[in-house]
Chain A
Amino acid sequence: MRQLRAEAGQASAGKELRPQRQPILSVADIAPSGRAISPDLRRLLQRHAQVKRGTVALSSGDRDVPGIEIFPGLRYTETCVDWLTPPTIIDATFARMDPLHHDRLLHFDTETTGLAGGTGTRAFMIGAADWIDGRFRIRQLTITSMAAESAMLRAFAGWLSEDTVLVSYNGKCYDAPLLATRYRLARMPNPLLGLGHLDLLHPVRRHWKGQWENCRLATAERLLLGVVREDDLPGSEAPAAWLTYLRGGSAANLRRVAQHNAQDLKSLAGVLVHMAKMERCCRLP
């Protein structure tokens, strides 16, 4: 090991205490970059790291990610669909909020590299939807490289204004804190801070907990809106879909993630409108 370190241009194992006394910067300055690592040590580390097979760079012919590239590594899609007719003023009493003009609503949902939380989880797709001239506008940002994350965060921040009211499903506990972390790591102000946020999970739970098998968005959309998804990619497979693409593999599942995300946004709006109307019916008599 000592020899390996020597080969790698590092302090010898037996002398590790001495260089540490120097200010760390000077060590960084003088140390040649160590690319070498002894085969023995490498085997030890690999066994420990449970490297089963090297993550081979994939190569697929299907690399088609929808949308236009608005920044290197950042793709943008925009579609307008006819989807429900929202009342102009949304009665949000069910969510313990004042009535809202539907113009102010921005439905949003992120697709992330996992559920582990902490600073190591990121969003690779942000979908957001709003009502424009009676039609439902769905916009999605997808990064195809890590470096484009800041551009994506900047673009999303541009969609928010101070009177935007966010609509989400479990976004208060999941999407919003996750984005707050990403903005912090990118050294940008958090544009979500201080915005109104209508998280539909809580009112749905209050109404239907115990009546439904669970209160997931998929359950709510099926029972309230009659939505049946075809060829839906389960949310749990989204991280792998993006990672496969990132490593040079097929984009097929990444496109399915985008469809899944778009449907989530439509269902968000659907559940919101349903609950707002339900509230009014209940209160009328």
Chain B
Amino acid sequence: MAELLELNQAGALGVKAFTFDGDTPGDARQAIRLHGDIVVSNPDMLHQAILPHHTKWAQFFENLRYVVIDEVHTYRGVFGSHVANVIRRLKRVCAFYGVRPQFILCSATIGNPQEHAEALIEDAVTAITESGAPSGDKHVLLWNPPVVNPDLGLRASARSQTNRIARLAIKSGMKTLVFAQSRSMVEVLTKYLKDVFDHDPRKPARIRAYRGGYLPKERRAAEREMRAGTIDGIVSTSALELGVDIGSLDVVVLNGYPGSVAATWQRFGRAGRRQQSALGVLVASSDPLDQYLVRHPEFFQGAPPEHARIHPDQPLILLDHIRCAAFELPFVGDEMFGTEVATPWLDVLGEEGVLHREGDRWEWIADSYPAIAVSLRSVADGNFVVVDRTDGRQTIIAEVDYSAAAVTLYEGAIHMIQSTPYQVEKLDWEGRKAYVTRASVDYYTDAIDYTRLKVLDCFESSHAGCGHARHGEVHVVRRVPGYKKIRFYSHENIGYGPVNLPDQELHTTAVWWQLPQAVLEAAFEQRQQALDGFLGAANTLHIVATVAVMAEARDLQKSVGSGDGAWFVSADMRGRGQLRGSDGQPAALATDAPFTPTVYLYDAFPGGIGQSEPLFHRREDLVAQSITLIERCDCRAGCPACVGPVLAADEGAATTPKALALRVLALLVAL
């Protein structure tokens, strides 16, 4: 935006460019609708404010020539699937005003830019993959904090290392930007740096913090000072990632992996003035994903392997947007919405009573504003709100997806918000509320999650080593009977608590691997070992797959069970695979019963979100990468960064969980 205004001023172009977002004051909005030549907004505003009020924007739409969508690599997974539907609605409204704007999309480097752009706008695009911008050398440093406790595999904290590197860079006279994962981490790191560089209050500040939650005025001031070059170090959340102009920098330090290689490059891209060399440093945290990536520097070389995936026809997302679209303009006849004929969905909305059918028209009839109830960042089934009751307050401090509520908001759970632990005191399942109070604890909780899958339909099947890999439709029943308390840093298991929640049922898509009984019996002396091996393999495949499809870890889930839903396996108190029957009770398998353990990776949303098919196509890659991950892991017997936490007793075992998982994976390697 700043650049637009600058360009406009320099050329005396007289172009009126405005920002239309949540910070735009009410009295300015009408002027923007009537006089804006260029309006800079975001998907949420388009979804909740502009499209449902498109008649107020009639003049704007009638003259709309170009739609520029920046940072499309961030529109992936659930969010991307929503945004694709918002674009369908935008095109529908444009058609009403008789315009067909040209779309221009920009992306950070991803593996499938053209395919992804075409999936988003459902039209042919021409990809321009050469960059004409001058650039100097880029150096990338992956920094794994040194091991401070080899027995527990404990490393120095990413925070202390980030601080150290940033301090060194600023002292050497380099303009430095530090990205932190949470707002509170921004404050902590800012304080550390200010203690060094801003201890003299008479001098202008050299260090600045930048994050959401600051007033727009404050943020603009920070941007100005950065551009002017009076600031030497800035500490920020992802708020600075997207399109905010702060001039050029020498060094970017990431405190932890931001979740995708594309986002990493995006942030590193902040460094580099014209033709001067620049440095990007990724400081790995103890998170398994970070540990995985820091051991795979090849991920950061050449074209990154990540593909952005969306699934705009996910049934619940589709229903929500057909609902919003029907509010905006009536559906007529066999109108298409994206690639689907809308009629069956309209029927459902008719039954719900929000649409009224008259002849071949479906008209909105309810007294409601559907876009408000549709969040672009979840597959809605009613989000849970987290209410803080510390010191008699009643403050909503977070929202949690329905699908994640059972495993994060059970009574007794430690729910982390911006690295502050809160304990859930009461969960009102029907009312979709969790009441929490701030807690000072040295542990976090991990739900024990018994998941039972039944395969309903197999779409594709292929050999995978001695076994098979498949993908298809599954029925998932999930029960959370209790939770583990795990001490921070050491990841020791220090206790258990019970949970009393209804079963969650889910109809979704999955990819799974299976080995025949004869192969397993030849490879393992006991069935127990095979089960432990499958659990470890599941953990590793989950880590690798999450990276491969740029998924949020919670959007993709893992499970080990029989192929037919008769039994499933969960880690018991000793970290061993415990076989459980369909009722969730521990069970022993008769020696003559069929034994075909199966590892599943499934979409955590009703109807699936389209991750299983790309995973199936990369099945060989996933197994190979899992093996490398385990082999390269520094731990001896197994750790959360590879096959999952192991007990101290297993550390010295002759056959380690790592070895068992490797044995399972080796059998799945294509011959």
Contact = CB atoms under 8 A, between A and B. Distances in A.
Interface in A144-203: 145-147, 177, 180-181, 184-185
B350 A20 contact: no
Contact of A21 (B124, B319, B473): B124
B55 A34 contact: no
A27 B88 CA distance: 14
A118 interface: yes
Specify the main secondary structure of chain B where it touches its partner. Answer: mixed
Contacts of B52: 118-120
Interface string A22-53: 01100110010111110011101110111100
Contacts of B607: 1, 41, 44
B597 interface: no
Interface string A92-125: 0000000000000000000001111111110000
B457 A146 contact: no
Given A14-B459, A24-B123, A119-B53, A146 B364 contact: no
B350 A55 contact: yes
A10 interface: yes
B329 A119 contact: yes
Contacts of A177: 56
A239 B607 CA distance: 35
B369 A50 contact: no
Interface in B489-508: 507
A116 B369 contact: yes
Nearest to B96: A185
What are the nearest 3 A-B pairs in CB distance? A114-B367, A120-B327, A120-B364
A34 B339 CA distance: 11
A44 B353 contact: no
Contact of A20 (B118, B347, B353, B368): B118
Interface in B312-338: 312-313, 315-316, 319, 326-329, 334, 336, 338
B313 A48 contact: no
A175 to B, nearest CB: 15
B315 A1 contact: yes
Interface in A47-66: 48-51, 54-55
14 contacts: A10-B339, A13-B313, A14-B460, A16-B313, A23-B124, A44-B315, A45-B345, A55-B350, A114-B368, A119-B55, A119-B329, A120-B370, A184-B55, A246-B365
Contacts, number: 158
Contacts of B367: 113-116, 121, 239
B343 interface: yes
A209 interface: no
Nearest to B350: A55
B358 A145 contact: yes
Contact of A120 (B118, B328, B336): B328
A48 B340 contact: no
A3 interface: yes
B340 A49 contact: no
Contacts of A37: 344-345, 347-348
B359 interface: yes
Given A23-B123, A45-B315, A120 B507 contact: no
B115 A45 contact: no
B53 to A, nearest CB: 5
Contacts of A49: 319, 348-349, 351-352
Given A33-B334, A147-B359, A246-B356, A19 B339 contact: yes
Given A20-B122, A55-B350, A246-B356, A44 B316 contact: yes
A2 B53 contact: no
Nearest to B472: A2
Contact of B58 (A50, A120, A184): A184
A8 interface: yes
A220 to B, nearest CB: 25
A121 B55 CA distance: 12
Contacts of B350: 55
A167 B591 CA distance: 87
A165 B273 CA distance: 62
A68 to B, nearest CB: 22
Contacts of B509: 1, 13
A11 B311 CA distance: 13
Nearest to A247: B356
B358 A41 contact: no
Contacts of B345: 37, 45
Contact of A10 (B53, B123, B341): B341
Contacts of A239: 367
Contacts of A14: 459-460, 613
A112 to B, nearest CB: 9
